[in-house]
A and B are shown apart, each in its own frame.
Chain A
Amino acid sequence: MTLTSKPLSVMLFVILFGGIALSSAMGWWATESTKEPAAFTEGEFAGLANPADIRGSYTFGDIANSFDVTPGILAQAFGIITDDPATFAVKDLEVLYLDSGYEIGTNSVRMFVAFYTGLPFDLTAEETVMPKSAADILLAKGSLTPEQAAYLETHTVNVNEPASAVEPVAESTPAVEETHDPVAEEYTVKGKTTFGDLILWGVPKETIEALIDADMPDPAMKVKDYASANGLDFETLKPALQAEVDKVKP
């Protein structure tokens, strides 16, 4: 059989658009994400949504529809200040954190959602960093596996300082005077210490709750602010907390 250009061009259109029509009829044609992540197909979590399939086009609201995490928590974790966190698109994170020098984007959200919800996440596939505000929430939740906690320890970054000037929090080796003890400095309860810092340093959540005689507050909250807001004396609370910190200090 010999073909010339005209029948060939007709056949190209028929095969291409016929194939698209057929796939559309079969429900296979999708040019955009359905906003529903693919599910795990095997193992303990089979049937549950897979955080690794969260796309940049998803909003925090889309994520909340598939995972047990609220848009508010996501916004708090990634430092988003908005009246409507549900409409914030994940892909906008990269733009937001562009100046920080850290690649905080879709994969950071995937990892956060996986850690927060206790779903599996492949930590070997890609180096992913987490802003400190997100790490604080995860540590305060207290459900991390030892492997996840160890990963966070080396992949948490302080986005308030430019990447060129700051290393990941747990790896930080600040340039200091010879007499300065960086470990002592880091493990000292001060006015700017947050509850997340205490958790990150290794103070058990239960110990903190016992000392303040209340449930664990927002990890991003400063201890001093919490004390003044709840009628506690920070100067009394500080040495008690410092004693607990000293117990776990490396």
Chain B
Amino acid sequence: MVTLFGKRIRLFRPRTIWIRRVVQWFFFLLIALIVFNHSLVESGGGIPFLASASLHGVCPFGGVETLYTYFASGLFVSKIHDSSLVLAAIVILMSVLFGPVFCGWICPLGTVQEWVSKIGKKLFKRRFNHFVPLKVDNVLRYLRYGILVWVLYVTATSGKLLFEAYDPYFALFNFWSTEVAWTSLAVLGVTLVLSVFVERPWCKYACPYGAVLGLTNIFRVFSIKRAESTCKADGACSIMCPMNIQVDSVKTVRDHQCISCLECTSEAICPVAKTVLFTSGGVK
């Protein structure tokens, strides 16, 4: 840490939150193993001491999808179990505390998009994640709320997970299965291709669960906050943000697209100590 022009600057700072990568890998492998084990168990085998739930059994969005049916009739929609409701409640608690950390740290589909995006970063350098015109991008960002309303409506009226036929997350972990609709495989394919150009395209424009969790950004306990008194206004935080949020133009990030990845903070890209913080208190 050195002081330059009256500001404390860290010379050797991590440019990324490495532990987030570890956590992402952990949950990707965990879900993959659980789903793989489920297939083994159905065919009479199975890995000892490992859960064998179906993907729906460990998906918190199923808990959101079944809410209407559960309260209206006391039943779950097809393929959803108690565990989905429990996970939905846990993730909501996490999100109220820390924002959509599920998206930034846990969701395997977000992780896979980030992995593919590394190709785009190498190919396009600074142009990566800036291909969509701002005006179009601003409108598209609300598309996921429309998708959320549609998903909740069709699930409530049919009692079935109709979204499964378009869900890239389901396709990602069941692509070998005959249960996967070609439409969900196509959506997964498009998502992965777009990830070469845009960071987390599914999360930004289409994810209905991200839409739900994104709302907690408005009132979450711990938020990304920028200390204007020490900020160098170099824009590093905004450039680094995978969701293209202009962190350097606000004091507290309340954007509905923040995924709490912490990549903008002074722990990662921001060169000035204690300037962009993940905090429940105020900053100067």
The minimal Cβ–Cβ distance linking B216 to chain A, given in whole angstroms, is 14
What string of 1s and 0s marks CB contacts (under 8 Å) between A41-58 and chain B? Answer: 100000000101101100
The minimal Cβ–Cβ distance linking A111 to chain B, given in whole angstroms, is 13
Q: Is B75 an interface residue (CB 8 A)?
A: yes
Q: A5-B17, A19-B93, A52-B75 are in contact. Are A31 and B281 (CB under 8 A)?
A: no
In the bound complex, do residue B82 and residue A30 qualify as a contact, i.e. CB atoms below 8 Å apart?
yes
Q: Which of B5-13, B49-57, B191-199, B239-247 contacts A (4 or more CB under 8 A)?
A: B49-57
The minimal Cβ–Cβ distance linking A37 to chain B, given in whole angstroms, is 8
Q: Contact partner of B20 among A5, A56, A106, A126, CB < 8 A?
A: A5
What string of 1s and 0s marks CB contacts (under 8 Å) between B69-88 and chain A? Answer: 00001111011011101110
The minimal Cβ–Cβ distance linking A206 to chain B, given in whole angstroms, is 38
In the bound complex, do residue B74 and residue A12 qualify as a contact, i.e. CB atoms below 8 Å apart?
no
Q: Is A2 an interface residue (CB 8 A)?
A: yes
Assembly CA distance A178 to B151 (angstroms): 48
Q: Chain B: which residue is nearest A3 at the CB level? A: B278
Q: Contact partner of B75 among A5, A16, A31, A50, CB < 8 A?
A: A50
Q: A5-B20, A6-B19, A32-B53 are in contact. Are A56 and B267 (CB under 8 A)?
A: no
The minimal Cβ–Cβ distance linking A223 to chain B, given in whole angstroms, is 39
In the bound complex, do residue A12 and residue B106 qualify as a contact, i.e. CB atoms below 8 Å apart?
yes
In the bound complex, do residue B75 and residue A53 qualify as a contact, i.e. CB atoms below 8 Å apart?
yes
Q: Which of B22, B82, B101, B279 neighbours the largest number of chain A CB atoms within 10 Å of its CB? A: B82
Q: Which residues 1-25 in A have Cβ within 8 Å of B in the complex?
A: 1-6, 8-9, 11-12, 15-16, 19-20, 23
Q: How many of chain A's residues have a CB under 8 angstroms from any CB in B?
A: 31
Q: A19-B93, A30-B81, A32-B57 are in contact. Are A9 and B86 (CB under 8 A)?
A: no
Q: What residues on B are CB-neighbors of A33 within 8 Å? A: 81
Q: Contact partner of A55 among B73, B78, B101, CB < 8 A?
A: B78
Q: A3-B222, A5-B262 are in contact. Are A31 and B81 (CB under 8 A)?
A: yes
Q: Is B58 an interface residue (CB 8 A)?
A: yes
The minimal Cβ–Cβ distance linking A137 to chain B, given in whole angstroms, is 25
Q: A31-B83, A41-B74 are in contact. Are A5 and B90 (CB under 8 A)?
A: no
What string of 1s and 0s marks CB contacts (under 8 Å) between A167-206 and chain B? Answer: 0000000000000000000000000000000000000000
The minimal Cβ–Cβ distance linking B46 to chain A, given in whole angstroms, is 13
The minimal Cβ–Cβ distance linking B13 to chain A, given in whole angstroms, is 13
In the bound complex, do residue B83 and residue A30 qualify as a contact, i.e. CB atoms below 8 Å apart?
yes
Q: Is B94 an interface residue (CB 8 A)?
A: yes
In the bound complex, do residue A19 and residue B89 qualify as a contact, i.e. CB atoms below 8 Å apart?
yes
Q: Is B140 an interface residue (CB 8 A)?
A: no
Q: Is A96 an interface residue (CB 8 A)?
A: no
Assembly CA distance A29 to B58 (angstroms): 10
Q: Which residues 25-80 in A have Cβ within 8 Å of B in the complex?
A: 28-33, 38, 41, 50, 52-53, 55-56
Assembly CA distance A31 to B76 (angstroms): 12
Q: Which residues 42-64 in B have Cβ within 8 Å of A in the complex?
A: 51, 53-54, 57-58
Q: What residues on B are CB-neighbors of A229 within 8 Å? A: none
Q: What residues on A are CB-neighbors of B23 within 8 Å? A: 9, 12
In the bound complex, do residue B267 and residue A4 qualify as a contact, i.e. CB atoms below 8 Å apart?
yes
In the bound complex, do residue B262 and residue A20 qualify as a contact, i.e. CB atoms below 8 Å apart?
no
Assembly CA distance A92 to B267 (angstroms): 53
Assembly CA distance A195 to B94 (angstroms): 62
Q: Chain A: which residue is nearest B93 at the CB level? A: A15
Q: Is B36 an interface residue (CB 8 A)?
A: no
Assembly CA distance A75 to B81 (angstroms): 27
Q: What residues on A are CB-neighbors of B277 within 8 Å? A: 2
Q: Is B138 an interface residue (CB 8 A)?
A: no
Q: Is A125 an interface residue (CB 8 A)?
A: yes
Inter-chain pairs besides A8-B262, A126-B158, 14 sampled, C-beta below 8 Å: A1-B280, A3-B98, A6-B19, A9-B20, A11-B98, A15-B97, A23-B83, A30-B81, A31-B57, A32-B54, A32-B57, A52-B75, A55-B79, A126-B160
Interface set of B (CB-CB < 8 Å, partner A): 17, 19-20, 22-23, 51, 53-54, 57-58, 73-76, 78-79, 81-83, 85-87, 89-90, 93-94, 97-98, 101, 105-106, 157-160, 222, 262, 265, 267, 277-281
Could you pull out 30 A-B pairs where Cβ atoms are within 8 angstroms?
A: A1-B281, A2-B277, A2-B280, A2-B281, A4-B262, A4-B278, A5-B17, A5-B19, A5-B267, A11-B97, A16-B90, A16-B106, A23-B86, A29-B86, A30-B82, A31-B51, A31-B57, A31-B81, A32-B54, A32-B57, A33-B81, A38-B74, A38-B75, A52-B73, A52-B75, A56-B78, A56-B79, A125-B157, A125-B159, A126-B159
